[in-house]
Amino acid sequence: MTRTPYGAVRGRWDRGVAVFRGIPYAAAPFGPRRFRPPVPPEPWDGVRDAAAFGPTAPKPPYSEAFAQYLSDPVVPGDDCLNLNVWTPDPSPGARLPVFVWLHGGALTRGSSAVPVYDGRTFARDGVVFVSVNYRLGVEGYGLFPDAPANPGLRDQLAALGWVHEAITAFGGDPARVTLGGQSAGAISTGALIAAPQARGLVRRAVLQSGPPETTDREKVRRMVRRMATRLKVPATAEAFAAVDRAQLLRAQAEVGRLSSPVLGGPAFGIVVDGDLVPRDPLEALTDGAAPGVGLLTGWTRDEYRLWLVPGGLLERVDRLGPLALAGAMARCRCGSEVPRGYRTLRPADGTAELVGQMVTDRLLRLPLHRLSDGRDEPSYVYEFAWPSNRPGMGACHALELGFVFDSGDEPDARKLSGEGAPQELADAMHGAWVRFVSDGAPGWDRWDARHPVQVFGDGTPHLVHGPRDRELALWATPSVPAEATGPATSPELRSVIRRLRRSGALRRG
């Protein structure tokens, strides 16, 4: 039994690790609290059983094409603002390092119950591991005239506050907290470490395949307005709160079904709100926000393959040729000299590979380079290069998770990796993450003018200097506005996207 600020909880021992699941860190965000900032949970009497994962936030399921590769369990119930703790020593005197994990899923899917995120391996190696559920989609990132922005991000901040207040009782040290995540979880991590309200709550941060960024407010408003049109209600929080949850999710899925991380489309995202996110997080961080917070950042070699291979989109983009390149140029706000440069550097790549690498470089690798270049604190950068044994997936987005968590034996991890993932690679990556969380140094050179990148999966893990520098140098042209760090919303892009939709290239299966 362990006591939290709101009551006692009883977990379970699992192979030498104490596990506490489904602990509420905030009240259920429904009824009068829907679309509102989180508030503390009601204290409880007695001992709360913490054996099972708590409810997951409302979310639409993955399409059939993506469900072949990604798992997304659903746990019904209203109390979805909950977290889980794995610890090797649930006693206040242990003072162990803490790793707080924010799941990915484009801020519309995912949860802490995804089996790949099993925190037992981190606890086995001396780290108190915490995974968090938070509001998703329109519930967490809708933008309304009558409600505060970014409630999902505010949930994550509330969970960080809970960790600061409660983790000592679970054997953790609140002064040694690392915040991390992958994809949307990494984007959230970047926004939180830049937030003034999070100052002092985080000592280190891990950003996997997601840069600090915000979404244009008008883009999010358009998403809400399109949902309102389908639902035949005003685009207000009050009106949306009166809509049945299942109906709201159906409308969200219908409006977002043609979106693509590579070619854009309607989507929810974190917005500048003048409060929790007072300015663009990347600009804030390179301007000195989050002093003293060390970084571990990186990407996978073939991020785009998770977005283009399921449903056959890779082949359709290849067939479109110049039209697909025009879409990538509009999305990335660049001139024709950029794809010409990629053709020169990567002559063997097809159109889809060029589009995928261009967009990945522009929207992910370039801002992560800027982040590491722009800070005095230690920063360590990696690239994951092991290709999946699933046909066509390569070293795709999210594939590294089974290695970071050393959870490759999970059937859900094999959905993306296939059979036969190398254990020695998991040992190397997981060990590096444990070292970073524990001591701030994963085991290779910190970032400097040589741009050292630790490559995992291309043979024995090794250091390469500037492996992406030639491609990223192509973006230093007058045709790319310096302030353009997110997806374009220009009329040219919308025109190209409409043509791609008519061609069938954006159907997701």
pLDDT digits (tens, 9 = 90+) for 48-85: 999 999 999 999 999 899 999 999 999 999 999 999 99
Beta partners for residue 130, in sequence order: 85, 100
The CA distance from 497 to 89, in Å, is: 53
Residue 200: is it exposed, middle or buried by C-beta count within 10 angstroms (0-12/13-18/19+)? Answer: exposed
The CA distance from 189 to 321, in Å, is: 36
450-509 pLDDT tens trace: 999 999 998 899 999 999 999 999 998 544 443 333 333 445 545 555 555 554 444 433
Asked if pLDDT for residue 147 goes beyond 90, the answer is yes
Could you give the domains of the chain? 2-218+259-503 (3.40.50.1820)
Q: What is the pTM of this model?
A: 0.94
Judge whether 311 and 63 are in contact, CB under 8 Å: yes
Strands 82-87 and 12-14, sheet pairing = unpaired
195-227 pLDDT tens trace: 999 999 999 999 999 999 999 999 999 999 999
pLDDT at 313: 84
What average pLDDT does this structure show over 186-200? 97
What average pLDDT does this structure show over 131-153? 98
Higher local confidence (pLDDT), 330 or 372 = 372
What average pLDDT does this structure show over 269-279? 96
pLDDT at 301: 97
Element (H, E) at 463: strand 459-465
CA angle 218, 223, 226 (to 5 degrees): 120
The CA distance from 249 to 252, in Å, is: 5
Angle between the 245-256 and 217-231 helix axes, to the nearest 10 degrees? 120
pLDDT at 67: 94
Nearest to residue 289, comparing CAs of 299, 297, 298, 279? 279
Nearest to residue 268, comparing CAs of 279, 256, 258? 256
Judge whether 176 and 98 are in contact, CB under 8 Å: yes
pLDDT at 325: 87
Residues 6+ apart with CB under 8 A from 28: 78, 79, 80, 81
pLDDT at 317: 87
pLDDT at 495: 55
pLDDT at 267: 84
Judge whether 357 and 503 are in contact, CB under 8 Å: no
Strands 204-208 and 17-24, sheet pairing = unpaired
391-403 pLDDT tens trace: 999 999 999 999 9
What percent of the chain is modeled with pLDDT above 90?
85
Q: So which residues are the catalytic ones?
A: 183, 303, 397
Confidence of residue 137 (pLDDT cuts 50, 70, 90): very high
Beta partners for residue 205, in sequence order: 179, 295
pLDDT at 498: 56
Asked if pLDDT for residue 288 goes beyond 80, the answer is yes
